[in-house]
A and B are shown apart, each in its own frame.
Chain A
């Protein structure tokens, strides 16, 4: 599985868009980019995933660069409940074995 690199921490004001970057320069052609988040004392929660096209769902948008070496998770209107550790993971489709890095600790400030 490709290694991903994320900033250890970020801050964002409530109501603003939170943009979380992820580098995955060694990603292979059949690996997807997955995003999960973990709120304190809970298990990780799936957010979104994509291969090469941009994706959007009710939680977030995922923007993947054309060369697929990096991506950005966008939370359009961050709320205090979005405070969590966000994990960017590269893995093959359907892989149950996810390789989690240290993630980005996102703090939403009032």
Chain B
């Protein structure tokens, strides 16, 4: 069974641009959550989706948004990029919204210049 797939693996953008990251969960998994990892702040929760509905949101500005499609694939979007948005963005999937185990992808490394 394929793991969580995130694309692209690396991305370089400039300030003010917007970016869309994609996440394909493990087949059969319906819950997807997103995390941001930076050297200074560590791993921080962005948001969680289950059955195309956002169930939980972390403490990030409105420039960060996401969505989930009917096939459970998810995208996150960051608009008006800032230098501080440079980070590893990780997606995790689980079987349901009541499942203990999160399975993480390898992430998308975003660099904002």
**Do A45 and B94 touch (CB < 8 A)?**
no
**Do A96 and B56 touch (CB < 8 A)?**
yes
A49 to B97, CA, bound (A): 17
Interchain nearest-CB distance for B110 vs A (Å): 15
Does B86 count as interface, using CB distance less than 8 angstroms?
no
Total count of chain A residues near the partner, CB < 8 A: 21
Per-residue interface assignment for chain B, residues 76 to 103, with 1 indicating a CB less than 8 Å from any chain A CB and 0 otherwise: 0000000000000010101011111111
**Do B100 and A97 touch (CB < 8 A)?**
no
**Do B31 and A96 touch (CB < 8 A)?**
yes
Tell me the A33-64 residues at the B interface (CB within 8 Å).
Answer: 34, 36, 41-46, 49
Does B61 count as interface, using CB distance less than 8 angstroms?
no
A70 to B43, CA, bound (A): 22
Known: A43-B105, A96-B56. A32 touches B100 (CB 8 A): yes
A100 to B42, CA, bound (A): 7
Does A98 count as interface, using CB distance less than 8 angstroms?
yes
Interchain nearest-CB distance for B7 vs A (Å): 14
Q: Which chain B positions have C-beta within 8 A of A100?
A: 35, 42-44
A38 to B56, CA, bound (A): 24
Does B66 count as interface, using CB distance less than 8 angstroms?
no
Per-residue interface assignment for chain A, residues 70 to 94, with 1 indicating a CB less than 8 Å from any chain B CB and 0 otherwise: 0000000000000000010000011
Does A9 count as interface, using CB distance less than 8 angstroms?
no
Does A102 count as interface, using CB distance less than 8 angstroms?
yes
- 7 A-B pairs in the complex with CB atoms less than 8 angstroms apart: A36-B102, A43-B104, A45-B104, A49-B100, A87-B43, A94-B97, A101-B42
B interface vs A, CB < 8 Å?
4, 31, 33, 35, 42-45, 48, 50, 55-56, 58, 90, 92, 94, 96-107
Q: 8 closest A-B pairs (Cβ-Cβ)? A: A43-B104, A100-B43, A94-B98, A96-B48, A96-B33, A97-B45, A46-B101, A44-B104
